[in-house]
């Protein structure tokens, strides 16, 4: 479970790191209007809501497979965010409308999977430790995700986040859950 906890920290870090400044990326780099950014995130939220219903059946069979799948998917999805400003409108908006809902789907897969794994495999009284690990990764990622794009640029931020998702995948694989 130690590797699983490290994977949780890394996954939460990468997620917060990549998505904290995403609305700024979409408005400044991709040239999306504020209503379009709202619409993209609205669709993402709808998909995330309904994906919990779908993923609850998938995760009930294998929490570990769900967590590893979510990390795997995100490695490539985060890299594809760099393509959004390169594409002309409406292709860039379409890419955002495809990528972000899949990210939302993978989040529910990860979220439900980690819940199943921590309940099944963690020791008595240690659920809070895993929640704290995820919160630590999320807070560090949010802090750096707000500052890094202005220092190193969004493209490098997405590359770093993808590499951290890959590291979380390796930790999840090493945990044998």
- What's the confidence (pLDDT) of residue 170? 93
- What's the confidence (pLDDT) of residue 87? 93
First to last CA, the chain: 8
- What's the confidence (pLDDT) of residue 168? 94
Q: Can you say whether the dihedral through the CA atoms of 40, 139, 168, 109 is positive or negative?
A: negative
Q: Any idea where the domains of the chain sit in the sequence?
A: 2-175
How confident is the prediction along the chain (177 residues), in pLDDT tens digits per residue?
A: 778 889 999 999 999 999 899 999 999 999 999 999 999 999 999 999 999 888 887 777 778 888 888 999 999 999 999 999 999 999 999 999 999 999 999 999 898 888 888 888 777 777 788 888 888 888 988 888 888 899 999 999 999 999 999 999 999 988 876
Q: Which fold has domain 2-175?
A: Growth Hormone; Chain: A; (1.20.1250)
Q: How far is 134 from 82, CA to CA, in rounded Å?
A: 26
- What's the confidence (pLDDT) of residue 118? 84
- What's the confidence (pLDDT) of residue 52? 87
Q: How far is 90 from 73, CA to CA, in rounded Å?
A: 24
Q: How far is 148 from 157, CA to CA, in rounded Å?
A: 7
């Amino acid at each position: 479970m130690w590797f699983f906890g490290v994977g949780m920290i890394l996954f939460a870090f990468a997620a917060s790191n990549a998505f904290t400044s995403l609305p700024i990326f979409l408005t400044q780099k991709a040239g999306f209007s504020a209503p379009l950014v709202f619409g993209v995130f609205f669709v993402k939220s709808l998909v995330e809501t309904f994906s919990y219903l779908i993923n609850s059946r998938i995760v009930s069979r294998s929490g570990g497979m769900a967590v590893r799948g979510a990390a795997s998917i995100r490695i490539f999805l985060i890299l594809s965010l760099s393509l959004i400003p390169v594409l002309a409108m409406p292709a860039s908006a379409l890419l955002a409308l495809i990528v972000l809902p899949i990210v939302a789907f993978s989040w529910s897969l990860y979220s439900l999977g980690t819940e199943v794994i921590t309940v099944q495999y963690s020791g008595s009284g240690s659920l809070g430790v895993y929640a704290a690990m995820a919160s630590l990764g999320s807070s560090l990622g949010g802090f750096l995700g707000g500052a890094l794009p202005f220092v190193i640029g969004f493209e490098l931020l997405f590359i770093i986040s993808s590499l951290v998702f890959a590291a979380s995948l390796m930790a999840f694989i090493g945990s044998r859950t």
